[in-house]
Amino acid sequence: MQVTKEKKATGPKEFTKLGQGLKINSQALNDKSRTILTDELVHLLVDLHHQLQPERIALLRDRKKRQLNFDEGKVPDYLNKNNEAVVSDWKVASLPADLKKRRVEITGPVNSTKMVINMLSRNDDGVLADMAMLDFEDSMKPSWQNIVDGFHNVIGAARGDLRFEQAGKKGKPSKVYQLDADDMSGVMVRCRGLHLNEENVTVDGEPISAGLFDLAVNFYHTAQVLVDRGRTPKYYVPKCESYQEARWWNGLFGILEDKLGFETGTLRATFLIETLTAAFQIEEILYEIRNHAAGLNVGRWDKIFSDIKVLRYHNDRVMPDRGTIDMTKPWMDQYAKRLIKICHSRGAMAIGGMSAFTPGKNPELRKEQTAKVLADKKNEHDIGHDGCWVSHPYFITSALQCFPEENQLDRTLPKQDKYPDLLPQGGGDVTEAGLRTNIRVGIAYMQGWNQDIGCVAWDNLMEDLATLEISRAQIWQWIHHKVKMKDGRIISRELVDSFFDEELNKILDEVEETMKGLPLSTIQKVKEQFSQARKDVGAVFLLENLPNFFNEALNEANINH
């Protein structure tokens, strides 16, 4: 388990006008954010909002309409197999040199300067990841302070001069963390998804798109710096659900390049294929972004969440314990191979997903966890991926061993069916242990969230928003369908609520043990944090209906976030 720091309280929002109809939460306007939001950038953000917000709203409406159809019994399917994206002869724009080797990408929240430096630097074995994906999304809580810190860290990473000094404890000297501009991983940035708003920034009284905001601010401040250093401005785009949404993002890329004086294709993006509907439109999505494409990524954890969410009311597709859903499941294996086949046939990189294991604190556990990562990464390599993700510098060395080639673009999987059955199958055991795991993840994640943290190391796994969403959706699905556990008991709201209390008590005992020897007031404070987290996440998990995303669930449960 991991104990997280306490957050600072925030008050009600009052907005200050910066110009051209753009306003910012007055509490968010400080010296650090002023250096980011220059007058020129403000004008750019307003223009982008005016051009792209109406279509974004329409796309979000389309999401709701599709989900209503799925709720009524329909299932996602392939598009017309004679469409232009499928039958025409095209390739993505030629990949820049610094995007042809992506064997291992390490990911983590962008707001921690120390963590960003560690991701971009050599690990204890002296080994670099090829890329570091600096995350504004699933692994970072998007508080304003975290976002602004993230912008500054991206700027420092782009320049290669990011520095952090950690104060020494008990008379020990401070420790300095410093990037080496000539010896660092490639910088990639993941912005937030289409559905999220940046509530601290409004245009004409309307919150600006969070993803647009992240992408525009980062590109504005770092694109020229990167180009001058011979590097490509590289981004990840999450949560895409359709080729129409990919077209919207591609439009944003083009407008940014045009307004800031860059050639088309200067900006390169990797889209995460992590929704069930997107899995059926991989070729169409890649076609829409072909002039800006770097590749596609198998976002396994969000995909599992999407499978559950999209088919929430289908009683024949109820998912078993989350720990049993891995890349060997037929629908997961086929979606990964379909992505590889399409990407490589069109000249794009196909990146594998995240192993959520953490290293552990003793040699025996580290050996066990490393073996799991090696098995996962070997499978990804063997089916044709060009690279993979890891969550901790410790695993970079092992993962690299699994990818000896620079890439596998020449592997086009000629025998792989391009149109396999991608619909997840129900069945399999639902156990008390699986239910309790979801509950523990919920409490642990919420304790971190309440302290301004978006991912936590817990029970030897790295839990972020995606895995929290799986736990939330599974519990709702099991309650809704009155699922029987392996021992015959039916999962009900009352049973889940009682398990929440029992798991909280276990966690409180673990806090006592882990923090033994610290002041009682410190221990009590952490125990109160977990108690509050149990209350908050219990309300979220036990909502009568299933909100589509965690932020919506927090609003519906009236939890201040």
Residues taking part in catalysis: 190, 464
The Cα–Cα gap between 452 and 148 comes to 13
Residue 462 β-bridge partners = 457
The Cα–Cα gap between 273 and 369 comes to 26
Torsions phi, psi for 269 (to 5 deg): -130, 145
Under 8 Å between Cβ of 281 and 62? no
In one letter, which amino acid is 517? G
> How remote is the C-alpha of 46 from its chain's centroid?
26
The Cα–Cα gap between 327 and 38 comes to 45
377-400: b (≥16 Cβ within 10 Å) or e: bbbbbebbbbbbbbbbbbbbbbbb
Torsions phi, psi for 182 (to 5 deg): -95, 0
Residue owning tokens 């890649």: 286
- The maximal CA–CA distance of the chain, rounded, in angstroms, is 70
The Cα–Cα gap between 216 and 266 comes to 14
**Number of Cβ within a 10 Å radius of residue 451:** 18
From the number of C-beta atoms within 10 Å of its C-beta (0-12, 13-18, 19+), residue 449 rates as buried
CA distances from 479 to 285, 486, 502, 526 (A): 35, 15, 18, 30
45-75: b (≥16 Cβ within 10 Å) or e: bbebbeebbeebeebeeebeebbeebeeeee
In one letter, which amino acid is 110? V
Q: Is residue 441 within a helix (H) or strand (E), and if so which, with residue range?
A: helix 432-450
135, two tokens = 């995350």
Q: How many CA atoms lie within 13 A of 518 on its CB side?
A: 14
Give, as one character, the DSSP assignment of residue 26.
G
Under 8 Å between Cβ of 108 and 152? no
